[in-house]
Amino acid sequence: MPGWWGFWGPKLPDDAPENRPLASRWFGPSRAIDFDHKQLVHIPQAVLEEHPGFLALWRERDILFIPNMPYHVAHVLVNFLYTNKYENLRIGCKSGIESALIDFTTAIYVYSACVRYQLPRLQVQAGERIAIYGDKIPFLEIIKKLSGSQFTDMNLGGTLYDYICDRASAENASMTDTSAAEIRAAMGGTMASVLCQKIVKLESEKKHLKEILRKH
């Protein structure tokens, strides 16, 4: 006969015997991710099997080499493999915009990595954060960030492209000659910034066309 606490105590539905795993997924075979020959992280095979596209990249190897991924971005990726959740590391910043810029840049890195390493669910979460963090940042600061050398070879596509288009459209509604000149001056020669230039130019042309149509 159960004791009084067992009878009246809180229920634990997830702890029902039939819901418990037959074996621990934390033990058994594992594979490793080599982050730029600096950090080797072992991931249980059972965890990797929850991300089949990512697992397929191993191609029967025991180690997957991932180059040029910053530590805080690698954390987001590895944490997601275990938890299916996006988690930033705490990074000390002086201002809200500075913090948002770091989070925005991290989300871009993560989004790009997800495209390359076949992690579609994390890609969705990173895409959501691109807009969330980006909305906290002046458009000029976004252009400056995307014109940096770290984005030299990064393709500005998908959610990031859509977000830049939306921000460019909103910016053009209130853009002055001075702010337009500042944006043009901030744009560099990276792939991302070149595409930004095309987007901003297109939005400017659309605005000019609307003004002509209104006059007629």
The predicted-structure confidence for 31-63, as pLDDT tens digits, reads as follows: 999 999 889 999 999 999 999 999 999 988 899
Over residues 109-158, the pLDDT tens digits come to 999 899 999 999 999 999 999 999 999 988 878 877 777 666 666 666 67
Q: Which residue has the higher pLDDT, 107 or 202?
A: 107
| Long-range CB contacts (within 8 A, 24+) of 160-167 | 160/108, 160/111, 160/127, 160/130, 161/195, 161/199, 163/130, 163/131, 163/134, 164/195, 164/196, 164/199, 165/199, 165/203, 167/134, 167/139, 167/142
Question: Which regions of 30-109 does DSSP assign to beta strands (E)?
Answer: 30-35, 39-44, 63-66
With both helix axes pointing from N to C terminus, report the angle between 139-146 and 96-117 in degrees, rounded to the nearest 10: 50
CATH topology of domain 30-215: Potassium Channel Kv1.1; Chain A (3.30.710)
Q: How confident is the model at residue 14 (pLDDT cuts 50, 70, 90)?
A: confident
Over residues 172-181, the pLDDT tens digits come to 655 555 555 5
Q: What is the pLDDT of residue 166?
A: 78
Q: Are 25 and 44 in contact (CB under 8 A)?
A: yes
Q: What is the pLDDT of residue 165?
A: 74
202: which residues sit within 8 A by CB, 6+ positions away? Answer: 168
- Compute φ and ψ for 7, nearest 5 degrees: -80, -40
Q: Where are the domains of the chain?
A: 30-215
Q: If you average pLDDT over residues 12-38, what whole number do you get? A: 83
